[in-house]
Amino acid sequence: MTKKYKLFTHTDLDGIGCAIVAKDILGNVDVEYLDYHNVDKRITDFITNENPSGYEAIYITDISVNRETAALIKKSNADWTLLDHHATATWLNQFDWAKVVTENEYGKESGTSLLFNELGGDNILGEFVEKVRRYDTWEWHDIYSDHKAKELNDLLFIVGRDRFVERFNRNLDLEFTEAEQLLLDLEREKINRIIDEKNKQIRTGVVKVSGVMYEMGVIFSEGYTSELGNVLAKYNPSLDLIAIINPSRSVSLRTIKDDVNVGEIAKEFGGGGHPKAAGFRLDDSIVDSFVHDVFNKERD
């Protein structure tokens, strides 16, 4: 009987990279893509109402769970492995089924690189994994000037998740086809226009976390989160961070300052992430406590 595996993973390039790695190495993998607003409910439902022990192994990658869900996993009789690289999830290392590593001697980790190292893989897959890692950690920009890594993320959002996964499970070649390159060139022109428009629309507010007041730029956008956040932070150096509000689901935070930890700010609103890139779910309570209050809070 063919072994069957389960993967719960995040919805961004790094999470989707985990799906590509798992399918390439393990073969028969049932993949579900989750975000922070539904990861705990879905895994709880899976443990309670389905048959986790029917899988050879179950992986959670590039996303973490809360304490209640962790307790359920601990009691489960299935073979679980959680692999994450966000500093806000390091508390999970108390469990023998969790491995949260933010960086190693070679640089910052990503969910995709952690899974690749956990499962093992060939050099061709490793080249893909490194591009994903560089993009997710922003090393493509800060260290390597690796625009191929950035274009990999652009291609994902152009063609969509399913086509992207199918393409790289079929062919791991990182040299884009002529058609793919044309799409990427058109996308670059579009992004440049959006950045110029959003920079004109930016509003400023403040957010207070742990007694510290942060100056924040706020824009509304349903896409291009990382690029908008980082470029607008450079265009507006007086601001501590940029908040990108997707009205339908989330708030993403970005900073380029070493003394600002947006992961801790996001944690204050029920989210998490990295020191320079983080986010949280947008719901009615957040609209009141974040979107409304940041524009009305008096500056100290």
Confidence of residue 216 (pLDDT cuts 50, 70, 90): very high
Question: Strands 272-273 and 241-246: what pairing?
Answer: unpaired
Structure pTM?
0.80
Half-sphere exposure of 297 (CA within 13 A, CB side): 21
What is the structure's pLDDT at 300?
A: 47
Asked if pLDDT for residue 121 goes beyond 50, the answer is yes
Asked if pLDDT for residue 142 goes beyond 90, the answer is no
What mean pLDDT is predicted for residues 66-89?
96
What is the structure's pLDDT at 225?
A: 85
What is the structure's pLDDT at 1?
A: 67
Q: Which residues contact 26 (CB under 8 A, 6 or more apart)?
A: 3, 5, 119
Comparing CA positions, the residue from 239, 189, 190 lying closest to residue 215 is 239
